[in-house]
Structure 1
Amino acid sequence: MLDNTIYIDNMRIQVFLCAFNDMPAEIETREKRQAAILRILREQTVGRQTVLVDLLQQQGIEATQSSVSRDLKQLGVMKLDQGYAPPDALPTDEERDEAIFADFIRDIQTAGANLTVIRTAIGAAQRVAVCLDRSGWPEIIGTVSGDDTIFVATGNAAGQRRLVARLQEQTHH
């Protein structure tokens, strides 16, 4: 019985040491895989995790869908319409708003000294108004939007001119 106990204790110690010795290799493998994931995502558009697994394996890097899924989460990678994007490739809120203004604003007109009327693509007024509201532009007092029209109130004519100039710059109108 004593021999078995010693053998079991020795075996447990050996298993523990083996597991401990494998940990740095696992960390190194994960770091290498994560670096490769970021490199791949910066070089090409990837829309599915299985495609990413295949690309990693083509580079000789062991990967499974579950390991890639964990890596994407740890790296802060986001899934966008066009595919996965690393955090440093994501547009800022300001860049997204500028793109929305450029894509959806059709016309900008003034109505008096404090009111600016913005025409948008059909159904886009609410989205554009939200971007205006969160912009933090000091000249904007408030917005009211319909389906394709936004009324923007400014404090005075100078604020209105600044607003119109900003919007024209971003929409190229």
Structure 2
Amino acid sequence: MPAAHETRQQRQQAIRQILASQPVSKQSELVRLLRERGIAATQSSVSRDLRQLGIAKLGSAWAETATDAPADNPPPPDDFVRGVAAAGPHLTVIRTAIGAASRVGVFLDRSGWPEIVGTISGDDTIFVATASAAQQRRLIARIRAHFEF
């Protein structure tokens, strides 16, 4: 029986091969394709693998977000942010170009910005949680200064 890290490495290698050879729009589809190759996978393991590999949903398919950069520091997606607004004292809403929210969300998750507690990305919208209203104000100022929109 292979060690857990060997299984993970095989699964991650297969994920890259699959995504390089065909568009995949859902994690459940990726799980099915892995199983067809004889590789054990669950939605949660695939989700972790995608995050570790720096792969995010861009538009309607999964793709690597930064192929020439280290996975923990993808290039900033400066051209995709369209606006930012407060939604209550702890929630910030960021609007992006259609299909770009996941890429911007990955950037925010990896940015290390202390104001960010967590993010949820949709297709063109990101919800960013902050611990306080003061942190939210700092985050909005940082986003406006960092992204050109």
Q: TM-score, normalised by structure 1?
A: 0.43
Higher relative contact order (CA closer than 8 Å, sequence separation 6+): 2
Choose 1 or 2 for highest CA Rg. Answer: 1
| Structure in which a larger fraction of residues adopt helix | 1
TM-score (normalizing by structure 2): 0.50
